[in-house]
């Protein structure tokens, strides 16, 4: 490898790390969707209900996660039982006080019984917060300023799915990027879209095949040349990369040996670990599996399947990484520690409970909240160690978040803040 190529590789890796650090918890699962915070000195391992900094009731239910900018928390809620009204709420990080809330009329429509009309996590930047939701007639993306005033809205057209929507947007540079995978049955039309963050105008659109609706949220990978690639996964196209400047397809691994890379729906989101991209597929009836894919390393190369985990793999939860380890947290409470890039299973243990939220890593600890509201804390290491089971006080399908050294737990109808003082 020539010296200049090595230099570009180093620069790309540095930029990827710096970009993630600068981004903060402004999207689903925080920096680049990794679910990782390296400083855990202010986050407790064990707690009781009396240890919360605050716990506030929300103006509706939901499964989305909070995002943050400065001293503000942004979150979506909905009336899941009567009207499907969508609500965007802004809270103070100091005490959970409501700074503003905005209500948007909608209508009850078919969704999965485990879904909510507020399952999509917002994305936020210095000027605006971006939210999305659907009815069968329209897939709507809205931008509000930090005071709650609507800046723009973009209707992406009908949304066809037996389970309703739940994919989250991301902000990349000056664009809002959203995957829109719909069900083929019923005539769904799938595409990936980038909208101008200031105006909502379509910057580019990449049409995609439709099979089953996908719920994964993209992440950003920097290739060997240092250039960014938007990474998506779906049953229709497996794992693929899109050029964020043009919307053109860079590469795709949709089949291996004549068989689909994913033969079931993708709900979890892609992550990057040790230069590999992880994704998964599954169904409520089982048959879940996760894959590790190596992206092309030079012009003309093809992506490669490195290994596959088909035992106790997650359907909904997204994996999380630490160094050369990736942790797969299954919906049925089985956690698998996998070595990267070998694919060797280091350990696999049942922790109990059912999970729709994804694990996050705080320093050397994993936090994941079960559907009954128990936060399971494990050591993120080669040796299995259960550190704690802690109460959240209510059922939850959401993923935890961290901002300014404080852990935030979204239960169905409450938001909780915990920690912030050094625990060592």
The model's pTM is 0.93
The answer to whether the beta carbons of residues 11 and 20 sit under 8 Å apart is: no
pLDDT at 12: 42
pLDDT range class, residue 423, cuts 50, 70, 90: low
Residue-wise pLDDT tens digits, 369-409:
999 999 999 999 999 999 999 999 999 999 999 999 999 99
CATH architecture, domain 3-419: 8 Propeller (2.140)
Residue-wise pLDDT tens digits, 314-350:
999 999 999 999 999 999 999 999 999 999 999 999 9
pLDDT range class, residue 300, cuts 50, 70, 90: confident
Say how far apart CA 113 and CA 197 lie, in whole Å. Answer: 33
- In this predicted structure, the answer to whether residue 15 has a pLDDT above a threshold of 90 is no
The residue assigned the tokens 């250039």 is 227
- For the chain, the domains span 3-419
- In this predicted structure, the answer to whether residue 23 has a pLDDT above a threshold of 60 is no
The answer to whether the beta carbons of residues 176 and 194 sit under 8 Å apart is: yes
Say how far apart CA 410 and CA 395 lie, in whole Å. Answer: 9
Half-sphere exposure of 173 (CA within 13 A, CB side): 11
Q: What is the DSSP letter of 17?
A: H
Residue-wise pLDDT tens digits, 247-275:
999 999 999 999 999 999 999 999 999 99
Say how far apart CA 242 and CA 229 lie, in whole Å. Answer: 6
Residues whose CB is less than 8 angstroms from the CB of residue 161 and which lie 6 or more positions away in sequence, other chains included? 134, 182, 183, 188, 213
Residue-wise pLDDT tens digits, 153-182:
999 999 999 899 999 999 999 999 999 999
Output the average pLDDT for the chain: 93
- In this predicted structure, the answer to whether residue 134 has a pLDDT above a threshold of 50 is yes
- In this predicted structure, the answer to whether residue 280 has a pLDDT above a threshold of 50 is yes
pLDDT range class, residue 20, cuts 50, 70, 90: very low
User: In this structure, what token pair is assigned to residue 289?
Assistant: 């599996």
Q: Alpha-carbon Rg of the chain, whole angstroms?
A: 20
Q: Sheet containing 401-403: give its strands across.
A: 54-57, 414-419, 406-410, 401-403
pLDDT at 424: 55
């Amino acid at each position: 490898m020539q010296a200049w190529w090595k230099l570009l590789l180093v620069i790309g890796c540095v930029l990827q790390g710096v970009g993630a650090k600068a981004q903060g918890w402004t999207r689903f699962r925080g920096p680049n969707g990794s679910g990782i915070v390296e400083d855990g000195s202010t986050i407790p391992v064990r707690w009781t209900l009396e240890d919360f900094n605050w716990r506030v009731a929300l103006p509706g239910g939901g499964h989305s996660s909070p995002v943050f900018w400065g001293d503000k928390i942004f979150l979506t809620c909905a009336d899941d039982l009567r009207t499907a009204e969508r609500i965007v709420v802004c809270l103070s990080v100091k005490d959970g006080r409501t700074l503003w809330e905005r209500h948007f009329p909608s209508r009850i429509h078919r969704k999965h019984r485990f879904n909510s009309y507020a399952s999509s996590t917002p994305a936020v930047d210095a000027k605006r917060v971006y939210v999305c939701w659907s009815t069968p007639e329209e897939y709507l993306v809205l931008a509000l300023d930090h005071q709650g005033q609507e800046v723009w809205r973009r209707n992406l057209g009908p949304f066809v799915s037996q389970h309703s929507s739940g994919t989250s947007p991301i902000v990349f540079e000056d664009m809002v990027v959203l995957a829109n995978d719909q069900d083929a049955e019923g005539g769904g039309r799938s595409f990936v879209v980038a909208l101008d963050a200031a105006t909502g105008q379509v910057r580019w659109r990449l049409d995609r095949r439709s099979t089953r609706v996908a719920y994964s949220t993209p992440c950003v990978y920097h290739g060997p040349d240092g250039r960014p690639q938007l990474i998506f996964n779906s049953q229709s196209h497996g794992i693929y990369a899109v050029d964020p400047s043009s919307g053109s397809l860079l590469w795709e691994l949709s089949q291996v040996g004549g068989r689909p890379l994913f033969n079931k729906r993708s709900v979890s989101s892609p992550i990057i670990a040790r230069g590999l991209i992880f994704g998964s597929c599954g169904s409520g009836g089982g048959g879940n599996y996760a894959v590790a894919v190596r992206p092309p390393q030079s012009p003309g190369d093809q992506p490669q399947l490195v290994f596959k985990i088909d035992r106790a793999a997650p359907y909904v939860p997204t994996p999380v990484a630490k160094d050369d380890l990736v942790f797969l947290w299954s919906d049925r409470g089985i956690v698998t520690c996998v070595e990267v890039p070998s694919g060797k299973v280091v350990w696999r243990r049942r922790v109990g409970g059912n999970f729709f939220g994804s694990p996050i890593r705080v320093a050397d600890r994993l936090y994941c909240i079960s559907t009954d509201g128990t936060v399971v804390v494990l050591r993120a290491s080669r040796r299995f160690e259960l550190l704690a089971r802690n109460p959240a006080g209510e059922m939850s399908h959401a993923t935890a978040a961290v901002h300014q050294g404080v852990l935030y737990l979204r239960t169905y109808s409450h938001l909780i803040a915990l920690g912030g003082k050094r625990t060592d």
